[in-house]
Structure 1
Amino acid sequence: MPSTDPNPTTDLNQRKQNLLKLPPGSETKTLYEFPFQEMSLRIDSAHSQSSTDDRSQILSCAPDAVGDLSESELREFIFQHGRYFDSYLASEPGRLSFWSRGRRGLISYKRWRNHVIIGGGLIAPDHHKPQLVAEFLEFAKQHRLSIAFHNIGEEEISLFQDFQFQITKWGEDPMIDLEACNWRGKEYEWIRRQTNYCLRQGVTVCEVRPDQLHPVQWFETISEVIQVANESLTRKPQKKAMQFFEGRIDNHALGLRRLFIARRQGRIEGFVICNPILNGTGWATELYRHRLDSVKGTMAFLIHQVLQQLQQEGVQRAGLCLDLG
């Protein structure tokens, strides 16, 4: 099937014309509420207030048949095309999905009344992203939705500017070039000190996977991980996990994510969950927690060990997550 993707260099007027001609995408039908407090990013659409004349020109939106897409197929698609630490969260239950025509691109979002917040960026091949945005804007116009994207990288800013989004910078995603990092020198002295101290205290790190454990062992492990997560949150301002901005471990399978734990004398001291980015060439430490009485330096030690293992596997880069876990 020949591609109908608009050329990224096409001028804005032509894009507006193309927008009205694009075939419709789809969304799941369930409506979910979500909190808007402390929403520090704003990548807002200039198209949220559509006139009656504009709406009369737009084709009706008919959902694609997405029921035959298995969970494993969804995870694999996100694995291949997600580029941000929160892209993989599109696989979680409770999120709405918008698929472009032909199921070539995915936008994951939550909706409250006529407000939509999108997380995970544009999950699609680079050449298809303009088409994905155009189709989603068409859908938003049809339903008079106000939309905002959370966490968009600099490499995609120009695309959103072409579509007249308002953009507000609120932070930078800390990425580590694992191919160039050697953990030597004064700049890494503090990390080495935390690692050495934890090793002397008998803290160890390992990766755990459900397919490598007996079901009872996995249940006990994940139950203790959830216990650690809940304990860690008791001293945080929000008191509970920010479900849109952070991944969850209590309501669905680990999938293609990776779980690393730090233990001391058999007890889990802390954990890190890594999400895949860029087709597995990178991983992001998306969620990490520790016990309140864990050995000092546990998280620095744990993340250091995880990054060293990723280096040994040939992973090119690692993200430390813009939304601190």
Structure 2
Amino acid sequence: MDATRERTQAAARKPVDRPAAEPALPPTLRRNAPLVPTDSAASRSLAAVIAILTFLAGLCAGAAEIVASSAGQWQGTVAQEVTIQVRPAPGRDLDADIARADAIAKAEPGIAATRVFSKMEAERLLEPWLGSGLDLSDLPVPRLITLKLGDQTPDLKHLRAGLTEAMPGVASLDDHALWLQRLSTAANTFVGIGVGIVALVLVATGLAVAFATRGAMAGNREVVEVLHFVGADDDFIARAFQRRFFGLGLRGGIIGSAAALAAFALAGLLARNWRSGPAGDEVEALFGAFHIGWRGYASVMAIGVIASLVTAVISRLTVRRFLA
């Protein structure tokens, strides 16, 4: 029993022969660089192209959002008012006709308030077309009455019929429906053009990525052949290219989106500085305060993400076609 224990302990103390470590590969056979290098001049150029295209697409999307929101505000403001036009007629008292039209409008349910334009105010409205300094006293300049609509929707057909019956050929009602329709058409056209430009920019991004991917495949042809030789399939190679180009697209998309948001922030700051002058008032009346809102910010950031996804998908499809 003691002899058996001693043999066991002696065997445990005996050094075990281990296989020798495999020799390290020579430096010429090592590959420390990734399959698709991202720090090359071509990769940096592609990231810059994606950033520029994303910046342009973000500007188009933000501008379309500004126009859409401004058009909505214009339509909301104009839709809250209608206008009565009272024309001078021979043998009629213009002031009496204006007072009668104003009384008919105030008697209509749904009309919150009325405002009669004076003769001087009516003539001032013609200055953008006729210029200032003209004597319009001899011209039959119509007089205007603006009606502000209340919460209750008025019956404009009934009001128009009442004006026509009381003062035929003298008073008429304009609900601005034609102008609102044209404004809506123009705003929708501009938004459609912006969406089309964004789509074209994304197509251009895809084409640039396709050419860059084919160039990277041609430059790494020997590496791809070695990977095929050791058993790597096309999916493995395509995933490697997809990861690398997705990183490039994400970098360019983030830079382009951030630059577009910074441009809108700078435009808003300049608009606030210009607001004290007449030019600033006109710019603010047309485009607001250059504030794109949460939808604009979301659309600009979404374009950056979409650009990176397009980069990944196009690179994978290009690799699959190259290997086919």
Instruction: Provide the TM-score with structure 1 as the length reference.
Output: 0.25
Bigger Rg over Cα: 2
More strand by share: 1
More helix by share: 2
The higher-RCO structure (CA 8 Å, 6+ apart) is: 2
Instruction: Provide the TM-score with structure 2 as the length reference.
Output: 0.25
